[in-house]
Amino acid sequence: MDILSGMLNGFQVALTAQNLMMCVVGVVLGTVIGVLPGLGPPATIAMLLPLTMKLDPTGAMIMLAGIYYGAKYGGSTTSILLNVPGESSSVVTCIDGYQMARKGRAGAALGMAAISSFIAGTFGVVALMLVAPPLAKMSLAFSAPEYFALMVLGLAMVVLLSGESLVKALLAMLVGLWIASMGTDLFSATSRFTFDRVELLGGIDFIIVAIGVFAVGEVLGSLEPSKPADMLPVPKGFRNLLPTWEDMKKCRFAFVNGSLVGFLIGILPGAGSTIASFMSYGIEKAVSKHPEEFGHGAIEGVAAPEGANNAETGGALVPLLTLGIPGSGTTAILLAALVLWGFKPGPLFIQDSPQLFWGLVASMYIGNVLLLILNLPLVAVFAQLLKLPAYMMYPLILGVSIVGVYTSSNSMFQLGLLCGFGLLGYLMRKLDYPTAPLVLGLVLGDSMERALRQSLMMSAGDISILFRPIPSVLLGIAALLLAVPLFKRFNSVRVQVVDREA
């Protein structure tokens, strides 16, 4: 199936009444959680995933993806009006967005954030559509050693960029690998780390860990005392939300910059939308004729990062769908969702599940248009959500977490595990252990062990199979990445990037 016929097929799938409704629900939910500080896409997707098990997988995936990219649109609203980012990817928007709002240009900042998000988000989807099929074909040549090396590289990048302490990030990943190896070993039927509990023979469901670490852990952390911020008003009237023609001309390069940087950074595992937005902001400032305006309300300082964090979505879906390698906590949950529905993300995914792949891509075009419509005239309505008292949110999140885990397993034992992982998630945040490596270790652990053991079976235990050209290059890069902290100069750059993310 070529790209054109794939897209036609995709629009037929995405434009059915049911899938269109799922797309609307996803992007609205995404915008809502993007606006609400504290509740992020990983927690929301993890909580809702068990509830989507009865739905058609294509529709459910369209909705979950809508939450993922919709949150990035919504995240800018709080950055501009409150100086508090709704999502970590909108941190950099605070710098110039809030200054614009203080100068009475909140409308132009909100409007530019939505327009730039739309342009770059659409670019990201176009690039995903063009890059994913050839990459999938290329990766058909991969076998177990190449996959093992690719997963090691993916984990190394996530570990490198996940926390200030590389040791803690590695330890978090190793705990993820440990949880992944609980249950019955598929090669030898040996029970591992089951503590004589029948419930653990099948391993620990990824959903329980994700909901515990992200949702319950997040609520526990939010219950610590914090000072509420003052919100600037949203300008009334649609016209006041539109940037001027002069603003649009000023942001021409920012649109291109945000789109390209966002997509390219998105493809790299671990880098993520926060780093993409900071990089595009840095580039924009560096090439600007008026760099002194940055930090004081430069509209390009809103357009570039907002564009980058939306283009990143398309990039992040490339390795997820074509190689089965997620690059962040959220894409790891999306991978788990695909696997739970019986799909196999990887080189054959587009070929085996064209309805889902092209339907998802087409829905992202539609979703971006919907988000532009939602975020321009309705931004004042979404801003009202910030007045929602926190005491209503906490029980709601905990309740959905309980129901999510229970409906996926009908077991009280699994709810007990949820308590444990909730505490683990909170303690990890408190003690500065990054959560993304744990989740990725858990998602990739099983496949990684399988690929390693298959490789060594192929070679009758000879480790030199991992030094074939492609695996040796990938493992070499992974080793270099993990050696970065040994070099002061490179490590200071890494720490700066991580600090910005934090």
Report 373-402 residues binding other proteins (CB under 8 A): 389-392, 394-396, 398-399, 402
Q: Is there binding between residue 483 and other proteins (CB under 8 A)?
A: no
d(CA 129, CA 358): 8
User: Pattern of binders to other proteins over 218-257, x per CB under 8 A?
Assistant: -xxx-xxx--------------------------------
Of the residues 418, 438, 439, 466, which one makes contact with other proteins according to CB under 8 A: 418
Please state whether 195 falls in left (phi above 0), alpha (psi between -120 and 50) or beta: left
Report 6-65 residues binding other proteins (CB under 8 A): 51, 54
Comparing CB distances to other proteins, the nearer of 9 and 222 is: 222
Contact between residue 301 and residue 281 where contact means Cβ atoms under 8 Å apart = yes
Please state whether 298 falls in left (phi above 0), alpha (psi between -120 and 50) or beta: beta
Contact between residue 121 and residue 69 where contact means Cβ atoms under 8 Å apart = yes
Contact between residue 406 and residue 105 where contact means Cβ atoms under 8 Å apart = no
Of the residues 239, 245, 410, 488, which one makes contact with other proteins according to CB under 8 A: 410
Q: What is 362-394 written as a DSSP string?
A: HHHHHHHHHHHHHHTTTHHHHHHGGGS-HHHHH
Q: Which window, 108-116, 148-156, 181-189, 319-327, contacts other proteins (CB under 8 A)?
A: 181-189
Q: Phi/psi of residue 184, each to 5°?
A: -85, 130
# binding residues, other proteins (CB under 8 A): 60
Place of tokens 């529905």: 341
Which residues touch 331 (CB under 8 Å, ≥6 apart)?
316, 317, 320
Of the residues 423, 477, 495, 497, which one makes contact with other proteins according to CB under 8 A: 423
Contact between residue 52 and residue 63 where contact means Cβ atoms under 8 Å apart = yes
User: Pattern of binders to other proteins over 135-174, x per CB under 8 A?
Assistant: ------------------------------x-xx-xx--x
Tokens standing for residue 158:
């996530």
Q: Which window, 80-88, 202-210, 301-309, 427-435, contacts other proteins (CB under 8 A)?
A: 427-435
Comparing CB distances to other proteins, the nearer of 352 and 432 is: 432
**Footprint of other proteins on this chain (CB under 8 A)?**
51, 54, 165, 167-168, 170-171, 174-175, 177-178, 181, 185, 187-188, 190, 192-193, 216, 219-221, 223-225, 389-392, 394-396, 398-399, 402-403, 406-407, 410, 412, 415-416, 418-419, 422-423, 426-427, 430-433, 449, 452-454, 456-457, 460-461
